[in-house]
Structure 1
Amino acid sequence: MASCYDFLLFFISLSLAFSLTFQNSHGRTFSFDLHHRFSDPVKKWVSEKSGTGFQWPEKGSIDYYSALADQDRVIRGRGLASDEQMLTFSDGNITCKIPSLGFLHYTFVSLGTPSVSFLVALDTGSDLFWVPCDCIRCASTSSARYGFDLELSIYSPNSSSTSKTVPCNSSLCEARSECSEIAGNCPYKVAYVSTDTSSSGILMEDVMYLTTEDTLHDVVKAQIIFGCGKVQTGSFLDGAAPNGLFGLGMEKMSVPSILSSAGLTANSFSMCFGRDGIGRIIFGDKGSPDQGETPFNLKPRYPTYNVSVTGIRVGTNIINTNFSAIIDSGTSFTYLADPAYTHISESFHSLVADKQRSPDPRIPFDYCYFMSPNQNSTVIPSISLTMKGGSQFSVFDPIIVMSIEAEFVYCLAVVKSHNLNIIGQNFLTGNRIVFDREKSILGWKKFDCYDMEDTHTVPMNQQNFTTEPPSPAIGPNSYTPEATRQTRNGSQVSVLTPSFSHSPHLIPCFIYILFFLFVLLSVIL
């Protein structure tokens, strides 16, 4: 990972070898040893101060690079085109695809007074934000259950001085007929298409902590409505979104709708899906003038991020078609119904030279191939979608690679659906996706999530892969979508394992160094 950190570590190593010594006019001498944030002296100092066995991320682990990427975000995650205030979560705008939690994109959200952080899955395919709360039946909060050193939180209204229950007469209470005459609290229940998967409880109002996306990082306290999820069922108990689901849909209940209605941000937000599994989310981001765009197909009764596809290009094959699809960050794969599914899969198959693998009931994909012994000789047909209006949406990661029985296999990561088309995470990867609800358009631009144009292609020998066949996250192996209100599409686990090959700009290195020098000089002078 040749980066700013290599240069910075070189600078710091000099200070370790030769203590930085300065002498002022009074003859006093000041000496400082500078250390990397994960160095042994820093670890020892923090352990002594905290008095606990603090768990440091292992070098080379996802936590290690996520922490460094977060520093990059603070220094470099600026410059998006917008004249209006943009906000993100107080814990940072970084998002991360977590393998042990269904490969969905997660981020930290802080709620209540005092604040409590929740690791929530980001989902543009649903509206309600809910967290486990005063649990009757919730997923385990034990870190050992999910393979990382982080105990998950449970919200308790009694522990937050700013919590309020949403009454039955609230305009946001859609289940008034089910309100209790005694309690008078507004209940909710959201059923998801995945078999027996749901969340239910009561609606709450409390403070969610945000920060401005500028150099000041001003804290913004937003009053939001969310679900106190007392009972979870199905996939939510099996590792998919165990600490809550953050609905980003169009309904007035969603957090983006609440933020724009309160005048805190423009009615738009963006999500960047990095090819290394790390991305970011920003509320109020309207994108840039040079992005591709297509209008949403809005249905007044239940608006979703639905777009029209008017053509598909696979390699040199041009396919004239016309279908609508939902843009859903909560679905790891892309689902297509016929005739679009047959068009794209058979065209892809016709251009692949590698031997096709026989069907496997463990794998939801129909078109899988043995990778050539010389991986660099494997040629993957390119795919792009022509959107309504003519803009081209390039798909940078149309395949997944897995190791099965000591052989590498790659599959076209498109699942056949019965009646619903969904553009999932794998097709969104490599882009910053802008959900401009004000103009009712979807925007996209090739992006690496660090304000750098991604001009490099990923060679086959660096493709992400897994050693296990896909398993369900929020959806069952047999996909049976239903387009009903308060019901979202099923979701399958993506098997893309994050790789970390991002190289930041060199300029931020000097910012770090100037900061260290500033601290030294401030003490000396």
Structure 2
Amino acid sequence: MATWTGRASSSNSTLLPLLVIFLLGLACRSCNGFGTFGFNFHHRFSDPVTGILGYDELPQKGSPEYYAAITHRDRLIRGRHLGETKTPLTFVYGNETYRIPAFGHLHYANVSVGTPRTSYLVALDTGSDLLWLPCDCISCVKGVDTSHGELDFDIYSPNKSTTSKRVPCNSTYCEKQQQCSSPSSDCRYNITYLSANTSSSGIVVEDVLHLITDDAKLKGVEAPIAFGCGKIQTGIFLSGAAPNGLLGLGMDDVSIPSMLAKQGLASNSFSMCFGINGTGRIRFGDNGSVDQPETPFYVRDKYPTYNITVTQIAIGKSVADLDFYAIWDSGTSFTYLNDPAYTQISKSFNSAIKDKRATDNSDLPFEYCYTVRPNQTLNLTMKGGKQYNVIHPHVVLSDGEGNILFYCLGVVKSEDVNIIGQNFMTGYRIIFDREKMVMGWTESDCYHDEETSTLPISPSKSPAASPTVYPEATVNTTSKIPSASSPSDSPKLNSFTCALLMVLSAIFATV
């Protein structure tokens, strides 16, 4: 979602506002891969999630108010700065993830941290870096009311985990040691968002992230990680955004992909799959297939993000050469483009459609809407010449009874940065290869096995660090990895996941 820079220090870090999220448990499901860790995710507005988390105050799904609410949340994040082969890995509770309807097009996964392991439903964000969890909170969300009763969140506590260690200021995990009162004092972090007075602050701690190999053996792997013990959350974190934590997938050294790569547990690459039905999958160490289309990342000196370059736009038979950069952001609901890209796409799209545009509605975030489903293709040519076909360029607006009102081009005019949002990613498995510094893509339903490859990992040499300017922490490559749990120690579903499975089963049984 929003791109942000977090730092493991006592100074404030500017963050992008995050799309609001509501977390959901996930089914325990493994996915076949290769040297990677994976888990499935669900979109916040997907039917499986709305069936679990009912919010009467939310706009009717598909209504103009529904999409206006989503784009409003999108805008909250726009104020951002701008050799042995390992087996694939996934989260210990499985690789299913959910999109959650109430809070923007973010994706969520059930992750397990600490000893004994405790699960947290965290937002997955390619636009941020630091993982933080609510921790011995002074101010945080401890539970939410749903149509199925109250859902209580687990709250992390260093004192309750035997593998937890506080990070002192003289640790390599602590960025600005000179700002600490003494070398032995706690390393603090403070991440401040640019809007809605939203922040997360606390101390940096070390603990283990529980993973399993993404194969038939399901061997346990305990990955030492540093993360934020979030004692105080403010702003939208108290009203719905990331109530149970945020897992950053960005390029900085403190992101989970970076730490797994530095410890030799996975290659410095990961994938996210965005299913049409709102479910998804993520895999650490996934380098994709050998024949996948790819385009290089354009990494800026400040605030490195997953920027790509578009060189040509094709709407039906209309083709225009147009060079622009865009942030590839899984945490933004729709696609935001400034001129000339916005005008080129929207006007070409409109001229290719015979149906008359719908009456202007100032309540809608979208400018180009129609009463008949558009049948035009939208293709982006990426730097390097590969084509990216946008499978779902439009969104459907409906009334309270579910009757379709309009079909709208899912692009919103931006006054600043260009962002390729989640709606343009639907139907694809996206590879974020930070070793080659390329993005790859293949069409996928996120369930059928896909051919993937895993790069060899040398146990004696960590992969090169991702290019960063303000690393949140320095990964301690000398840290000893705790022994993996026995294969017979199969992960058990926590109470929330079990309850979720039962509800999902009941829902699907009646369909």
TM-score by length of 2: 0.70
Per-residue Cα deviation, 1:462-491 (whole angstroms, up to 9, x for no partner)? xxxxxxxxxxxxxxxxxxxxxx9799xxxx
Match of 1:110 among 106, 112, 122: 112
Determine the structure 2 residue equivalent to 1:86: 88
Counterpart mapping for 1:100-499 below 5 A: 100-139=102-141, 141-144=142-145, 150-181=151-182, 184-369=185-370, 371-372=371-372, 378-404=373-399, 408-451=405-448
User: For residue 414 of structure 1, what is the amino acid of its counterpart?
Assistant: V
**Change in CA separation of 1:145 and 1:227 when aligned onto 2, cut-off 3 Å:** farther
Q: Deviation of residue 182 (structure 1)? A: 8.9
How far 1:169 sits from its partner (Å)? 2.1
The alignment partner of 2:232 has SS state of strand
Pick closer, same or farther for the CA change 1:84–1:130 going to 2, 3 Å.
same
Pair 298,319 (structure 1): closer, same or farther in 2 beyond 3 Å = same
Aligned residue type for 1:291: Q
Deviates more, 1:286-295 or 1:145-154: 145-154
Deviation at 1:335, TM superposition (A): 1.3
Q: Is the 8 A contact 1:101 1:146 kept in 2?
A: no
Q: C-alpha distance in 1, partners of 2:149/2:192? A: 29
- How far off its partner does 1:89 sit? 0.8
Note closer, same or farther for the CA distance 1:79–1:126 as it changes in structure 2 (3 Å cut): closer
- Residue 121 of structure 1 contacts residue 245 of structure 1 at CA under 8 Å; is this kept in 2? yes
Cα distance in 2 for partners of 1:205, 1:137 equals: 21
RCO higher in 1 or 2 (8 Å CA, sep ≥ 6)? 2
Paired with 2:24 and 2:224, the residues of 1 have a C-alpha distance of 31
Contact 2:336 2:413 in 1 (8 A): yes
Q: Cα distance, 1:154 vs. partner? A: 1.1
The TM-score, its normalising length taken from structure 1, stands at: 0.68
> In angstroms, what is the RMSD of aligned CA positions?
2.7
Cα deviation code 1:108-141 (max 9, x no counterpart) = 01011111100001000011111111112213x3
Q: 1:147 to 1:401 in 2, by over 3 A?
A: farther
Structure 2 SS opposite 1:99: coil
* Deviations 1:163-215, CA, capped at 9 Å, x for gaps: 11122123332343543449711111223344322222111110110011111
Percent of residue pairs identical: 53
Which one has the largest radius of gyration? 1
Which one-letter code corresponds to 1:416 in the other structure? K
Letter in 2 for 1:305: Y
Q: Residue 108 of structure 2: SS of its match in structure 1? A: strand
Deviation per residue, 1:407-436 (Å, 9 max, x gap): 522221112112211111111110000111
Provide closer, same or farther for how the CA distance between residues 436 and 360 of structure 1 changes in structure 2, counting only shifts above 3 A. Answer: same
CA contact (8 A) 1:298 1:304 kept: yes
For residues 265 and 136 of structure 1, the distance between their equivalents in structure 2, rounded to whole angstroms, comes to 36
SS of match in other structure, 1:225: strand
Contact 1:334–1:414 (Cα < 8 Å) also in 2: yes
**Between 384-393 and 163-172, the greater mean CA deviation after superposition:** 163-172
Within 1, Cα distance between the matches of 2:278 and 2:309?
Answer: 27
Distance of 2:165 and 2:384 partners within structure 1: 45
Contact residue 35 and residue 267 of structure 2 kept, 8 A: no
Q: How many residues align?
A: 383
Q: Secondary structure at the match of 1:303?
A: coil
Report the AA paired with residue 318 of structure 1. Answer: V
The whole-number CA distance in structure 2 between the counterparts of 1:415 and 1:180 is 47
Q: Which has the higher helix share?
A: 1
The letter for the 1-side match of 2:168 is P
On the 8 A contact 1:178/1:187 being kept in 2, the answer is: no
Is the contact between residue 120 and residue 244 of structure 1 (CA under 8 Å) also seen in structure 2? Answer: yes
